[in-house]
Structure 1
Amino acid sequence: MMKRKYLAVLVSALLVSNVANAVEIYNKDSNQLDLYGKVVGLNYISNNGAEHGDKSYARLGFKGATQMKGPLSGYGQWEYNLKTSTPESAPSGNATRLAFAGLRYADIGSFDYGRNFGVLYDVEAWTDVNPEFGGDSWAKTDNFMTGRANNLATFRTNDLFGMVRDLKVALQYQGKNEGDIKNKDRANATENGDGWGVSSSYDLGNGVSIAAAYAKSDRTDAQSADKNGQFADAWTTGVKFDANSLYLAAMYAETRNMTPYGNKQFANKTQNIELVAQYQFTNNLRPSISYVQSTGKSLNKVADTTTDANSFNGGQHALVKYVEVGTSYFFNKNMYTYIDYKINLLKKDNYTRLANVNTDNVLGLGLVYQF
């Protein structure tokens, strides 16, 4: 009975994941394995060619847990994304999203290593909840510890080692991820030096929670060649209300030498804000509205490759700025559809033209089967 209790606690706490449903495919001798996935038929409608057309994909993963001696447990998770909007002859673009393994000791905490979410995303996840658009003012995949990344060692404890109920703390170390210049296996924007991060959240009760996180990393030689400094860091704080069918969340963050922009450059500083409101109706309809903005400060020049006459001379500029309006409708727990409209507030100017930033609105239409 005690083993089953530990295993149940472990499975319910298997790190950050957007898994809404899972199919148990094995459960025997204190070992459990769940399979999950989804198929998304997705189309974008926009005047911007890069943002228009078929964006469909499929996703498959598993998560498992095993009870070992006494209160010690083990767990692992793997998740793979498959693009389905390209011809079979084209380069796949498929990628592993998550792949980590770890140990958990009763109420003390868990430790895992692999490809996982950075601790900065612990706060960002509260506003990254929209049907399609959102959660991208500053969090990016393989961008230090702002989103999913490689080489992450993470320790997490709930209830602060059993001493403070509903207080969660995470400590994280990220090893260096530097591109191989010869093989070009990692772009400058996805590199990082050694770094560390910490996050904490607390449930105040009555549906209200608060959170904060900080991370600091060395920059690689290729990144620090811009002479903006040897370090990149970011801090963020957030608050959410989730009760009585109403969901409200707000996030503020600042980054330094971390956010890529323009032509392979990093912003000296960004200030980022995300606001989200959603309501769950009893008829399975869930509308949402959000505001997302990232403002770059002390930006470097973005030059025209043909002439300097129309170059962006640096300074301050909005890197991301839009309003999202959308809604999801759930037929049941396995099938839902959604429509999401991104009202782009960026203006067409020298910066957006030279940096190839989309300034057009985008409408997303999706139909999802998940398990």
Structure 2
Amino acid sequence: MNKKLIALAVAAASISSLANAAEVYSDETSSLAVGGRFEARGVLADNDEGNGKVTDATRVRINVAGKTDISDNLYGVGFFEKEFQSADSADDETRYAYAGLGGEYGQVVYGKADGSLGMLTDFTDIMAYNGNEAGNKIAAGDRTSNNLSYVGSFDLSGNNLTVKANYVFDDGQNTDGYSAAAMYAMDMGLAFGAGYGEQDGQHTSLGHQDKTAKQAFGAISYTFGDFYVAGLYQDAENTIVDDAIIDNSRGYELAAAYSWNQTVFTSTYNYLEDTDASGKAKDLRDSLAFDATYYFNKNFRTYASYKFNLLDSDFVGKAAGSDEFVLGARYDF
């Protein structure tokens, strides 16, 4: 059994293509690498009329990473990643665009970069397609532009402490905010972390509302042999769900993975509730998902994923309450 496959599954939410990136230039002080993925995805789900349809969710990501040594204790970095959608060019997205400096005590970058709370949602966001429905993050805690970000990783007698903090500036359209998180990973397989973020003035398609979003996360995981289990909890005020501001919400995710030869099986349960509501209106997310991913090698994988949507379709609508079945193939380079 290949325990490294669990690490691949757990890293699915991060820039895993960097592990396969090809170095296209290097000299005594600098290097440049190109990477990315081609991922074909077909999604079968009901529409609002209750009729099944297949949606092409194929995507391509291209990234370029550069690093240069400035001195023995200082280096410069730059990173860019773009995603292209097959179905609608309007959905194409610049995922990352940043540059900065790093050294012994961490790295500071500015641009479009990760916030600090994604490090915690990655504990349970391990599936090939589904999951992370109860791990919705405010913009300041997620990947966003106009973002000054710090990350430091420190070895503590064989254990590892990772600290992240970021501040998003007000540019006149998006309001300012910040987030911070810490994760401690022990050599015996246990890891845990916590984080908090705030953001002024929430925006929806209905316009600006002068409400401050507050969000706290806690996460824990344990790896033993070929098994991985994890849990995530969040408590939040004034976060956006389905283009509506929810005054008070609470949610949790449970995740598990098992590696068997060249296959990784993963499953997550996601629940998010509006704590001020009652009855059926209380449930914002409620789902159980399973998938299986087969790794032909480090560059190519195929997967199948099924989500049981536990929301009442008679209440939320056919599309919002539909189950989903996904087939995918992914090539990393």
Which residue pairs with 2:266 in the alignment? 288
Task: Name the amino acid aligned to 1:345.
Answer: L
Q: Tell whether 2:238 aligns with 1:236.
A: no
Which residue pairs with 2:201 in the alignment? 219
Which residue pairs with 1:100 in the alignment? 98
**Deviation of the 1:163 alpha carbon:** 9.7
Task: Name the amino acid aligned to 1:159.
Answer: F
Segments of 5+ residues of structure 2 without an aligned counterpart are: 1-13
**Deviation of the 1:128 alpha carbon:** 1.0
**Deviation of the 1:314 alpha carbon:** 9.4
CA deviation vs aligned residue, 1:241-277 (integer Å, no higher than 9, x gap): 234222211100111101233xx42000111111111
Q: Tell whether 2:237 aligns with 1:275.
A: no
**Deviation of the 1:324 alpha carbon:** 0.5
Which residue pairs with 2:25 in the alignment? 26
Which residue pairs with 2:7 in the alignment? none
Task: Name the amino acid aligned to 2:63.
Answer: G
Q: CA RMSD in A?
A: 2.6
Aligned mates of 1:220, 1:139 — CA distance in 2? 14
Which residue pairs with 1:149 in the alignment? 144
In proportion to residue count, which structure has more strand?
A: 2
- TM-score if structure 1 supplies the norm length? 0.78
Contact 1:139/1:146, CA 8 A, preserved across alignment? no
Which residue pairs with 1:250 in the alignment? 231
- TM-score if structure 2 supplies the norm length? 0.87
Where 1:68 maps in the other structure, the secondary structure is strand
Which residue pairs with 2:307 in the alignment? 342
Aligned mates of 1:269, 1:369 — CA distance in 2? 41
CA deviation vs aligned residue, 1:266-306 (integer Å, no higher than 9, x gap): 00011111111111112x0111111011111225xxxxxxx
Aligned mates of 1:205, 1:55 — CA distance in 2? 38
Q: Percent of counterpart pairs with the same letter?
A: 23
Task: Name the amino acid aligned to 1:23.
Answer: A
Which residue pairs with 2:71 in the alignment? 69
The structure 1 segments of at least 4 consecutive aligned residues displaced by more than 4 Å after TM superposition are 162-165, 220-227, 313-316
Aligned mates of 1:332, 1:31 — CA distance in 2? 29
Mark the CA change 1:214 to 1:167 in structure 2 (over 3 Å): closer, same or farther.
Answer: same
Mark the CA change 1:56 to 1:79 in structure 2 (over 3 Å): closer, same or farther.
Answer: same
Segments of 5+ residues of structure 1 without an aligned counterpart are: 1-15, 180-191, 300-312
Which residue pairs with 1:127 in the alignment? 124
Q: Tell whether 2:117 aligns with 1:136.
A: no
Where 1:176 maps in the other structure, the secondary structure is coil
Where 1:122 maps in the other structure, the secondary structure is helix
Which one has the largest radius of gyration?
Answer: 1
Mark the CA change 1:60 to 1:30 in structure 2 (over 3 Å): closer, same or farther.
Answer: same
CA deviation vs aligned residue, 1:150-207 (integer Å, no higher than 9, x gap): 11111122228x899512211211112554xxxxxxxxxxxx4211211001112211
Task: Name the amino acid aligned to 2:67.
Answer: A
